[in-house]
Amino acid sequence: MKIAYVLLAAGNASRFGSCKQLAEVHDKAMILHSLETLTSLATLAEQTQNQPTQTKQTQIKPFVVLGAYYEQIKPIIMGKAEVIYNPDWSLGLGASIAKASEVIQGLGDYDGVLFTLSDQVKVNLEDLESLIKGYDGQTIRTAYYANKPGVPAIFPASQFTELKGLKGKQGAKPILMAAKDNLSVQVMDNALFDIDYPEDLEQYLSAIKA
């Protein structure tokens, strides 16, 4: 089963007031922190699938969707990810999911797609491992926090066409709500926290230094 790993980072971070994707966390740009977690997951999954025949480690490059700060972000992730540019980033998260789904479906060899957000900085490798281990290849599998499903989430290839029709700030919420009685969920408290405002970043940095 081949899954595309997608980091969504196309927004203009209007509430943050600047390019939050480049704000520093853990001594690196936020987007690099999130990308490294996703890369570790993708590589680990590939190695697990290919055992015992695989003889060398292969680093899998996730996809990253960029938009508002494309020119600023692209240079620091080149070589680490496959970059997808979303010219319609201003239409909201849904447009970025739609663009990524269009690209991945066009490649023709993926059985599903995992979407994550660059500002969910508490989401770690263990969280994503638990999510992917419970994925059956057919049922949408999502994180569950604040009493509802949300991203990170894995969608099967059968959902690609519907994903391509998304737009707006709600992201994939319409699809998740429509399928709410037929979802596989993973409790993921770390996904509840994201960085929207500078104060959120200050809170996070203070907590990890304590």
CATH of the domain at 116: 3.90.550.10
| Mean pLDDT computed over 6-14 | 97
The pLDDT tens digits for 93-110 are 999 999 999 999 999 989
Instruction: Write the pLDDT tens digit of every residue in 116-173.
Output: 999 999 999 999 999 999 999 999 999 999 999 999 999 999 999 999 999 888 899 9
Element holding 6 (H helix, E strand): strand 3-9
pTM: 0.93
DSSP secondary structure code for residue 62 in this structure: P
What mean pLDDT comes out for the span 56-84? 89
Q: What is the pLDDT of residues 163-192, one digit of tens each?
A: 999 988 889 999 999 998 889 999 999 999
Find out whether the peptide bond into 152 is cis, omega within 30 degrees of 0.
yes
Quote the radius of gyration of the chain (alpha carbons, Å): 16
Q: Which two tokens stand for residue 104?
A: 């991945």
- Look at the chain and report how many structural domains it folds into: 1
Task: Tally the residues of the chain.
Answer: 210
Domain of 34 in residue numbering reads as: 3-209
